[in-house]
Amino acid sequence: MVIWRCRPYMGREEREADKERYQTVFAREKGSIAAPTAGLHFTPEMLSRLPHVFLTLHVGVGTFQPVKVERVEDHEMHAERYALGEAAAERLRAARRVVAVGTTATRVLESIAARHGSIVAENGETAIFIYPPHAFRAVGALLTNFHLPKSTLLMLVSAFGGKELMMRAYAEAIWERYRFYSYGDCMLIL
């Protein structure tokens, strides 16, 4: 559950409906400053029909800090706490393809896989910064919203789908007037 109720880049004052609307079907406990917004596209009914597991990442402000350095390698990510249980790790290891819902889930899974060589149950912290070129070890598909320019999140999706493809997708999204950010549209990258 999100403890920060409305993101500043929404360009409007907080509304009463945001308190409920900005929670996802994945929300389990307080501690994150933002909702994993790709999860806003799911309803409990949809989720009940899809194979899924839960993991916890307490998203911090570092996820949203723009990259301001000349060399991306010099950007420093802030650490964020996560938890992945044994049953979830087992199901992920057995999955034919792991579809991560959001960049936050992607960061947790890739961080664990980088540290252990596979998905294992673990409580820890991640400060992984994923940018091109990154060899993905755990995630085989990604459902994510459209992100801000110069953000670590845009760099992560560019690492996953390729920079050229992502720039074409973003140009199309702008042309077609897709909604960006928290209550925006999403894309599935295979």
- Peptide bond preceding 133 in cis form (omega within 30 of 0): yes
d(CA 14, CA 125): 30
Inform me whether the pLDDT recorded for 153 exceeds 80. yes
Element (H, E) at 24: none
d(CA 83, CA 31): 12
Give, as one character, the DSSP assignment of residue 93: H
Q: Which residue has the higher pLDDT, 67 or 16?
A: 67
**Cβ-based neighbour number of residue 116 at 10 Å:** 12
**What is this structure's pTM?**
0.82
